[in-house]
Amino acid sequence: MEISGAEIVVRCLQAENVEHVFGYPGGAVLFIYDELFKQNRVKHVLVRHEQAAVHAADGYARASGRVGVALVTSGPGVTNAVTGIATAYMDSIPVVIITGQVPTHAIGQDAFQEVDTVGITRPCVKHNFLVKDVRDIAATMKKAFYLAASGRPGPIVVDIPKDVTAAKARFDYPESIGMRSYNPVTKGHGGQIKKALSLLMKAERPMIYTGGGVVLGDATKELTQLVRKLGFPCTSTLMGLGGFPASDAQFLGMLGMHGTYEANMAMQHCDVLLAIGARFDDRVIGNPKHFFDEKRKIIHIDIDPSSISKRVRVDVPIVGDVRDVLQELLKQLGSGSAKQDAASLKTWWAQIELWRARDSLKYDRASPLIKPQFVIQKLHETTRGEAYVTSDVGQHQMWAAQFYKFEKPRRWINSGGLGTMGFGMPAAMGVQLAHPKDTVVCVTGESSIMMCIQELSTCKQYRLPLKIVNLNNRYMGMVRQWQEFFHGNRYAESYMDALPDFVRLAESFGHVGMRIEKPGDVEAALAEAFKRKSDLVFMDFITDQAENVYPMIPGGKGLSEMILV
Amino acid sequence: MRHIISVLLENEPGALSRVSGLFSARGYNIESLTVAPTEDATLSRMTIVTSGSDDVIEQINKQLNKLVDVVKVIDLSEGDHIERELMLVKVRAVGKDREEMKRMADIFRGRIIDVTERDYTIELTGSGSKLDAFLKAVSREVILETVRTGASGIGRGDRVLKL
């Protein structure tokens, strides 16, 4: 029997066991919405702006490990979605974005709500498709889900003209799909792994540096085993937090521009570096020239060959799925007879403990003003470190990363690569739908939250009891910090004037609002907010305007050139 | 250093723009780029002439391989290979130039493929430097128009780029 292209789209989503589609209707996708209406297996979540649709699908994917799905209309629906798509692309998040397109005969005619979707999104997707024949929809959707989740994950756009959704064809969803042009390597090269192991065994000052690949590749268990077995220090990028338990003594905290002193110093001065699912980006190692002032051997495990030797030369590249490679490494480690250099390792740890004693994350605990770090510490205590925490972008993001000690993967959800303000709340919606029984917190700032504030409405409609922690310092804090450090205290356009009353704003959307102005009220406010299991609570913390994020590596500087408190 | 890279890719709409977009987005050089379907109509073969440090060339290879439509990539300049480019040159051919142009075409083993009272169109194939040499050898004023395809390359002997 032949069914419409629109019905085929929905049947594909059902076949992929998609629970939620985040979207916003419009002319070009009306047939698809009509089919969504007629069934109840795939639930649609109506956002208030297409950017939020993709962020929500992205948050869902990050928290669940499954493919997130967004559905938007042509033209402005697509252009609004682009920020979300680019965000997912930069952080390698598996999302399928279905976009409506004007009818095939109108393509290229500058039709109403027409944009060249495939052209606009090409540089920020893993791959995209324009489906011109109804008979190709099923196979294309299969490819989209396969491409999104396999290899190095990423967003896939499927652009479907309206007439294609109206046309009819038989529905036949392929069981599996082979693509001769796409065969990601998963198994690491045994010989390379052996080489890596012998380097690690000879190391005097070893260091393990992990990234988002550990989280995306579900390799936490293997990483934890390896780090403990080796007894080496371990650090993580912003994206990798939770990949190794933060409370473990072998964990040196996050590294990079706002990383801890001990992590950055150990990274700079190690003699053998094992990089796992990380990409040495500019926010992590600072200036690569400075990084190479010190000689060290680098082993790099990554699923994407193009991430290896891109910014730094690597001695032992290992292309493969992080979990597979770590399993093999553990196996070889177990059966090998090589012994580590225990004495050197002891000396190395002694040095690291000296760095750690510098207490680079200290802040003024006696301040009469609310310190943002204090709020995050109390948030961590109140939620016993078990919440899913999303964030927006800026100072609050860094404080959340530094002070919320993540023990498990997929709990820390933020836009690391693109740095998208406005990501936090919509992403949290996706997280909450993926984990309806768990506590979901959005740590944000008064400037970021304003960028997708309309989603408070979505939260009300779907009864999403997010806990929003707004660190309100009346400034674009990170911009202000850079202006203070590098632009002679000239705070050009970084003061947020004319802010809304967030309490009444939250209330106007039907939520609970709280304002907290004194350090002494922080704990009680948090306790009260988290008691309200079924309410969205917007906590507006009025914080110290002058607080800065430390340590900091200024742009162009190296890992050991931190500004410290 | 100059490199000549051959790419086998799916003959899909938009595949070319994925490659050219990659080069512009990452700031790689393109000296020339040619593409056409192969004997297997589902595949296109592309030849890209580019230049860059070893690190950049390594990234270009990896980034090309990462494109979902790309099936295979080889750097022809890593081994023995042949490259050819086709050029069509329209030259003024009146008076004494008429004989001179015929002779130049013969010397460069070109062929005259269109003739009018006033001009010749000469077809020339060879390496890029041979075509350059031809353009240098004839005087600037006689050249009315040139069009070049950019290099196509193939490995020597049993170096084969195939599925």
Q: What percent of chain A has pLDDT over 90?
A: 98
H/E stretch holding A72: strand A68-72
CB-CB neighbors (< 8 A) of B18 in chain A: 122
CB-CB neighbors (< 8 A) of A300 in chain B: none
Which chain B residue shows the shortest CA-CA distance from A312?
Answer: B55
Q: Which of B18, B58, B68 is opposite residue A309, by nearest beta carbon?
A: B58
Give the number of A-B residue pairs with CB atoms closer than 8 Å: 38
Model confidence at A341, in pLDDT bands (50, 70, 90)?
A: confident
The 10s digit of each residue's pLDDT in A78-127 is: 999 999 999 999 999 999 999 999 999 999 999 999 999 999 999 999 99
E strand intervals along A241-312 = 251-254, 272-276, 297-302
Q: How far is CA B20 from CA A99, A114, B25, in A?
A: 24, 24, 9
* B55: contact with A, CB 8 A cutoff: yes
* B20: contact with A, CB 8 A cutoff: no
Q: How far is A210 from chain B (nearest CA, A)?
A: 22
- What whole-number distance in Å separates Cα of residue A59 and Cα of residue A66? 10
pLDDT at B163 over 90: no
pLDDT at A176 over 90: yes
For the entire predicted model, the pTM comes to 0.97
CB-CB neighbors (< 8 A) of B14 in chain A: 118, 122, 130
Six-digit token pair at A40? 């109840």
* B149: contact with A, CB 8 A cutoff: no
Which chain A residue shows the shortest CA-CA distance from B60?
Answer: A306
∠ at Cα A449 (A278, A97), nearest 5°? Answer: 60
Are residues B66 and A306, on separate chains, in Cβ contact within 8 Å?
yes
Which chain A residue shows the shortest CA-CA distance from B57?
Answer: A310
Residue A518's SS3 state is coil
- What whole-number distance in Å separates Cα of residue B74 and Cα of residue B71? 11
- What whole-number distance in Å separates Cα of residue A357 and Cα of residue A372? 22
- State the average pLDDT over residues A343-353: 97
Are residues A181 and B71, on separate chains, in Cβ contact within 8 Å?
yes
CB-CB neighbors (< 8 A) of B9 in chain A: 181
Are residues A181 and B21, on separate chains, in Cβ contact within 8 Å?
no
Long-range contacts, stretch B112-120, CB < 8 angstroms, 24+ apart:
B113/B88, B114/B90, B118/B92, B118/B93, B118/B94, B119/B90, B119/B91, B119/B92, B119/B93, B119/B144, B120/B90, B120/B91, B120/B93
- What whole-number distance in Å separates Cα of residue A242 and Cα of residue A407? 5
pLDDT at A221 over 80: yes
The pLDDT score that the predictor gives to residue B35 is: 96
Are residues A123 and B21, on separate chains, in Cβ contact within 8 Å?
yes
Are residues A181 and B70, on separate chains, in Cβ contact within 8 Å?
yes
The pLDDT score that the predictor gives to residue A463 is: 98
Six-digit token pair at A42? 């795939």
Which chain A residue shows the shortest CA-CA distance from B73?
Answer: A181
Are residues A305 and B65, on separate chains, in Cβ contact within 8 Å?
yes
The residue of A306, A314, A319 whose CB has the most chain B CBs within 10 angstroms, and thus the best one to mutate to test that interface, is A306
CB-CB neighbors (< 8 A) of B65 in chain A: 305-306
Strands B119-126 and B81-92: antiparallel
**Residue tagged 């209330």 (tokens):** A507
- What whole-number distance in Å separates Cα of residue A367 and Cα of residue A289? 40
- The residues of A carrying an active-site annotation are 50, 112-113, 162, 478
Q: How far is A83 from chain B (nearest CA, A)?
A: 17
The amino acid that residue A83 corresponds to is T
Model confidence at B112, in pLDDT bands (50, 70, 90)?
A: very high
- State the average pLDDT over residues A68-85: 98
Strands A155-161 and A127-130: parallel
Q: Which ranges constitute the DSSP H helices of A280-439?
A: 282-285, 288-291, 322-335, 342-356, 372-382, 395-403, 424-434
Question: Which residues make Cβ contacts (< 8 Å) with residue A454, sequence separation at least 6?
Answer: A48, A49, A52
The residue of B7, B61, B62, B63 whose CB has the most chain A CBs within 10 angstroms, and thus the best one to mutate to test that interface, is B62
Are residues B68 and A182, on separate chains, in Cβ contact within 8 Å?
yes
Tally of CB atoms within 10 A around A89: 21
Do A486 and A535 form a contact (C-beta atoms < 8 A)? no
**Residue tagged 């060959």 (tokens):** A305
Six-digit token pair at A519? 């350090």
Spatial CA neighbour of A210 closest among A185, A245, A159, A249: A245
The pLDDT score that the predictor gives to residue A337 is: 76
Model confidence at A536, in pLDDT bands (50, 70, 90)?
A: very high
Give the relative orientation of helices A50-64 and A424-434 as an angle to the nearest 10 degrees. 50
- State the average pLDDT over residues A306-330: 96
Tally of CB atoms within 10 A around A49: 22
Q: What percent of chain A has pLDDT over 70?
A: 100
Which chain B residue shows the shortest CA-CA distance from A305?
Answer: B62
pLDDT at A309 over 90: yes
Spatial CA neighbour of A387 closest among A461, A472, A466: A466
CB-CB neighbors (< 8 A) of B10 in chain A: 181
E strand intervals along A77-223 = 95-101, 127-130, 155-161, 168-170, 206-210
Do A515 and A542 form a contact (C-beta atoms < 8 A)? yes
User: A interface toward B at CB cutoff 8 Å?
Assistant: 118-119, 122-123, 126-127, 130, 147, 179-182, 304-306, 308-310, 313
Spatial CA neighbour of A323 closest among A198, A183, A216: A216
Q: What is the largest CA-CA distance in chain A?
A: 74
DSSP A385-415: T-SEEEE-SSHHHHHHHHHS---STT-EE--
Which chain A residue shows the shortest CA-CA distance from B7?
Answer: A181
pLDDT at A338 over 80: no
Model confidence at A340, in pLDDT bands (50, 70, 90)?
A: confident
Residue A418's SS3 state is coil
Are residues A147 and B68, on separate chains, in Cβ contact within 8 Å?
yes
The 10s digit of each residue's pLDDT in A286-297 is: 899 999 999 999
The amino acid that residue A283 corresponds to is R
CB-CB neighbors (< 8 A) of A310 in chain B: 59
**Residue tagged 């052996």 (tokens):** A194
- What whole-number distance in Å separates Cα of residue A98 and Cα of residue B33? 32
pLDDT at A339 over 90: no
Are residues A123 and B71, on separate chains, in Cβ contact within 8 Å?
no
